[in-house]
Amino acid sequence: MWEYFKRFAAGMWQRPAFIFLTFLSWTLIAAYGAAFYWLEHDTNPTLKEPLDALYFAVTTVTTVGFGDVTPATTSGKLLAMLMMFTGTMIFVSFTALVSSAIVEAELEFRSEEIGTNPRVRENSTDI
């Protein structure tokens, strides 16, 4: 089982889409945090420092949303909605990528057990 996990984890970092999504996620969270602080810091009493805005960005993009920091302005609310939509899209993409990597790792693992490559075999019903 450990060998299976190591192979899966190593394979994820070889996928350009995974690297791109990881970079995009962290970049968007930082940009959203900065934008939220810029829009809200004068009018929002829950924002005491930039870390509060970054915290809001992380909890909103990851769809956790604790509710202890909330937008007070219309522009902050619109930004929060954008954060929610893009966060959902990013995590759906991560889910699809991880699912395909699991299936690929399982096929490779089984092909080594059987001694053949199931991608080459036609009409394979036992895998």
**pLDDT tens digit sequence for 51-96:** 999 999 999 999 888 889 999 999 999 999 999 999 999 999 999 9
pTM over 0.85: no
Distance (Å, rounded) from C-alpha 75 to C-alpha 72? Answer: 9
Residue 101 belongs to domain with CATH number:
1.10.287.70
The verdict on residue 10 lying in a domain is: no
The answer to the question of residue 95 being in a domain is yes
Q: pLDDT at residue 23 above 90?
A: yes
Which residue range is the domain that position 100 belongs to?
Answer: 15-110
- Burial label for 21, CB within 10 Å (0-12, 13-18, 19+), is middle
Among 48, 61, 68, which Cα is nearest to 92's? 61
**pLDDT tens column, 24-63:** 999 999 999 999 999 999 999 999 999 999 999 999 999 8
